[in-house]
Structure 1
């Protein structure tokens, strides 16, 4: 690592600490030339696939949108934040494990529906009714019958 003070190419790690949440590593370094100390942070860099919308537009995956969708479907339902966080982690892990640069939005929606079905049947039906754009009551009834089985 290059020293930010004098530009010397060789620095030595003096101390290393892992953050409380394990999300990054903090390192104290010392320059071999000017002997000044500085701190660096190491964070994992993950690249989620772009989401391809129905109209062909490509947008960046946004974790906040996923969380908001789940929160809306789960509104006033007896599901803890820990369960929601776990569901999001499972979805994001699947996205990363695909190893693809793009994913169709309908595939991401199906992943969300699978997680909601495990968490709460009512939230699953709420999400599915909007996601699948039900046109009549029969489509809604068929989904409810499917969940009851």
Structure 2
């Protein structure tokens, strides 16, 4: 592994431990030339997942899009960064557990909405309003009623 500070290719692994609930390995490394330390992550390389968009275009799966969507929905909400990361990881695990080579973006959207329902109801409604493209206040109210009816049970 090349040192990000000096470019030297002689680095040593000091410590290794599981990361992201065992889905990757975190390695602390030390450069033999400059002595600085840095961290690398090792993940299993998977077959590229293709996402089928609403307009039938296809693009490669991008974890960052899920993360940005959840972060945007949770903006100024009392949700910790750790809980957001766990939610992103849970969504990603569920997506890959479908074991499909191509998945509709609508399927991923529904998975994200289900995860947000448990994380924060306001974040859920924010995400749903964009994802489901609410056309007017009535469709927005219908979604709110579903949440409120679920709480009364």
Q: How many Å apart are 1:46 and its aligned residue? A: 2.4
Supply the distance in 2 between the matched residues of 1:42 and 1:132 (Cα, whole angstroms): 36
Residues 117 and 124 of structure 1 are in contact (CA less than 8 Å); yes or no, is this contact kept in structure 2? yes
Look up the SS of the partner of 1:19 in the other structure.
Answer: strand
Matched residue, 1:110? 110
Q: Tell me the equivalent position of 1:120.
A: 120
Shift of 1:90: 1.0
**CA distance in structure 2 between the aligned counterparts of 1:66 and 1:42, rounded to whole angstroms:** 21
Question: How many pairs are equivalent?
Answer: 121
Structure 1 residue 24: Cα displacement: 3.5
SS at 1:100's partner residue?
coil
Aligned-pair CA distance for 1:49: 2.1
SS of alignment partner, residue 78 of structure 2: coil
Normalised by the length of structure 2, the TM-score is 0.71
TM-score where L is the length of structure 1: 0.73
Which among 10, 16, 33 is matched to residue 19 of structure 1?
16
In structure 1, what is the Cα distance between the partners aligned to 2:55 and 2:97?
25
Instruction: Call closer, same or farther: CA 1:43–1:63 in 2, change over 3 Å.
Output: closer
Runs of 4 or more above 6 Å deviation: none
Whether 1:68 aligns to 2:68 is: yes
Map 1:39-50 to 2 at 5 A: 43-47=43-47, 49-50=49-50
Question: How large is the Cα RMSD of the aligned pairs?
Answer: 2.3
Structure 2, unaligned runs of 5 or more: 1-11, 28-40
Indicate the SS of the match to 1:59. strand
